Structure 1
Amino acid sequence: MTRPFNKPATTIAQQIAHLTAQGMAIADVPRAEHWLRHVSYYRLSAYWLPFEKPKGQPGPRFLPGTDFDTVTALYEFDRRLRLLLLNAIERIEVAVRGSWAYGLAQHGGPHGYLDAALYTDRRQFHDNLSRLAREVGTSPETYIDHYRKTYDDPAMPPVWMVAEMMSFGQLSRWYSSLDDRALRNVIAQPLGLPEALLVPILKHLSIVRNSCAHHARLWNRGFLIRPKLPNKPADLAATLEPPAGNGPAMLYNSLVLIGFLAGKVDPSSTWVADLKALLATHPTGHLAMMGFPAAWAGRPLWP
């Protein structure tokens, strides 16, 4: 049995009429038209979900008091939150790139990373290498082009070059697949966490980073790939919130971990204070939807 999609396309005027009929207050129609034209109805719909009544309740779709300005303020809050997270994750990612490249270069030389014996799964290693080789072969980066034109043995550039062209996800996979736990810990040491924690945290942060980079809704999103929570240092453990059940991870613990790691790679960082200032501007103040516990601001790592 087929299930055809039969929703019609609607004009912006029809979209505004529909929202109004469903109980959303729109005080400034030209402003709403601008938002719907330049952001889109579908994209904004993710931000008015918290203001909808539970399905099955009679009457208009939106809760009493819902207005379009609050929805757009929430969208702007989320946009600023993504930019702030990208700023911190960039610093963390660059630090991991540098530590991974340095650790492998010191362990096995400039091209030691190409030794399949370093990795737990040979098939995964060859898959990672094939992907990386394709990118090296087509890369427009000047430093890669210089290597291709100057050297032909080995065909792949040294580890400090490929570290710069890997995606965060690729870097996480190369790092996590290393067989030598001691080597993984050497790489993890500048980040202030053991490799057993850093490996799953980096996998989680690569998902968070991709959400930010692709402009996806972030503030109340759940993440299926959960970070592993440290039980030390004590101030970090006391700031994190133990997960309730096995559901998706909410953003609170991600923010704590990012703040901790950002402080390790840049001790002068004001990122946590900047985040706290942004949180104070949340349009509704309902931070519980981000996983924030009660009295969170009194925990050790919040200034």
Structure 2
Amino acid sequence: MTPSLKGFKTYEQQVDLLIERGMDVGDREKAIVQLQRVNYYRLSGYWYPFRRLTTSGKRADDFHPGTSLDEVVALYDFDARLRTATFDALAPVELALRAAIGHALGELHECAHLRPELLSSRAHGASYQQWIASYNGALGRAREDFVDHHKRRYGGTLPVWAAVEILDWGSLTYLFDFSPSTVQSQVVDAVGLSSPQLRSWMKCLNLIRNTCAHHGRLFNRTHALTPKLPAPGQSPDLDLVRPVMNRTFGQLSLIQYLRAQYGIPLSRMLSAVIRSYPTQVVRVPASHVGVPQGWKDSPLWAI
């Protein structure tokens, strides 16, 4: 039997429910306006750690005494700033990766992405055929001037250094995976990683990027994918965050690392946002983002 859905609640009833569960909502009318601005269920991800723990270790519906809506909104606003800063910090890394992969494959052949016989054995199966179908779809949807130019002059065939610009990040990761070892080595040598390491980083950062693009929550998130890291001692900057690589701060450190490797200035905005974590939220410290002790002394963050 399918369980029944929860019944509809007006904004006034939503506020009543929060009060009933022990939250201090402050000014009632302001609380209603807040719920009109940000969906109740979006905010629920930020008040989750304020819910009381039961003896079985599960979260009860009611809140710890003293929980306030102002604290919840402070965390929500922090997370919104963090998404903006993360997207901004990641953009030049994404562009550098596109340029590096397109250039290295272009040295192999101007249309290496369309020549599976020049790529690795991983490009000889169904996954490459799916990639080609996705690429052709992206090419058909593309409206950039350089695409129109190649359609007029070359029948729509893009050289690989142009093709990388119409790929989404997931498709770019697959293209790197299809690349022969000589090409992969050229790309990874620039950032001091191995091919499996960079591939795992690209997959992790693709999820981070998508979270930011779709207004997802970075706060208090445990990430399903964790990156492969250099051996302990090889990169002390990453050793500090090794234990929190499944948390947001650990994965944001990957962005700062890649910026440094590519000669891109470290993101001051990203560092500033993390430093702006709302100190009034005593019950839910910055460790809920994965921020470790001593992070401000790391060369990746001491800006």
TM-score, normalised relative to structure 1? 0.89
The residue aligned with 2:151 is 148
Q: Report if aligned partners of 2:52, 2:60 keep a CA contact under 8 Å in 1.
A: no
Would the aligned equivalents of 2:53 and 2:59 in 1 still touch at CA under 8 Å? no
Shift of 1:55: 4.5
2:296 paired residue number: 297
Q: Is the 8 A contact 1:239 1:256 kept in 2?
A: no
Structure 1 regions of 5+ residues with no counterpart?
Answer: none
Shift >6 Å, 4+ stretches: 56-60
How far, CA to CA, are the matches of 1:228 and 1:87 in structure 2?
Answer: 24
Map Cα deviations across residues 89-124 of structure 1 (whole Å, 9 max, x no partner). 11110000000111011122x212211120322122
Which of 127, 132, 137 is residue 130 of structure 2 equivalent to? 127
How far, CA to CA, are the matches of 1:194 and 1:254 in structure 2?
A: 17
Distance 1:60 1:96, change over 3 A: closer
Deviation at 1:249, TM superposition (A): 1.2
- Residue 229 of structure 1 deviates from its aligned partner by 1.5
Point out the more displaced range, 35-44 or 143-152: 143-152
> Letter of the aligned partner of 1:275 in structure 2?
L
**Cα shift at 1:45:** 0.7
Give the corresponding residue for 1:12: 11
One-letter amino acid matched to 2:189: Q
Residues 1:60 and 1:185: Cα distance change in structure 2 (over 3 Å) = closer
User: Shift in Å at residue 177 of structure 1?
Assistant: 2.4
Whether 1:99 aligns to 2:83 is no
Q: 1:251 aligns with which of 248, 251, 270?
A: 248
Q: Does 1:263 align with 2:260?
A: yes
From the superposition, tell whether residues 119 and 130 of structure 1 become closer, same or farther in structure 2 (CA, over 3 Å): farther
- Tell me the CA shift for residue 239 of structure 1: 2.7
Q: Which residue of 2 aligns with 1:42?
A: 41
- Hey, what does 1:276 align to over in structure 2? 271
- Distance in 2, matches of 1:60 and 1:38, equals 23
Q: Percent identity?
A: 29
Q: What displacement does 1:218 show? A: 0.6
Amino acid at match of 2:78: F
Equivalent residues of 1:104, 1:159 under 8 A apart: yes
1:59 CA drift (Å)? 8.9
| Count of residue pairs the alignment pairs up | 292
> For residue 224 of structure 1, what is the aligned residue in structure 2?
224
Task: Give the letter for the 1:186 counterpart.
Answer: Q
Partner of 1:71 in structure 2?
72
Q: Partner of 1:61: helix, strand, or coil? A: strand
| Offset of residue 225 of structure 1 | 1.4
Farther-moved stretch of structure 1 (3-12 vs 50-59):
50-59
For the 8 Å contact 2:104–2:187, the answer to whether it is kept is: yes
2:57 matches 1:53 = no
When the two chains are superposed, the root-mean-square deviation of aligned CA atoms in Å is 2.2
Residue 193 of structure 1 and its aligned partner are, at CA, apart by 2.5
The answer for the alignment partner of 2:194 in structure 1 is: 194
Q: CA deviation at 1:26?
A: 1.3
Question: Shift in Å at residue 205 of structure 1?
Answer: 0.6
Look up the SS of the partner of 1:242 in the other structure.
helix
Q: Which runs of 5+ in 2 are unaligned?
A: none
Distance 1:300 1:106 in 2: 35
Matched, 1:115 2:118: no
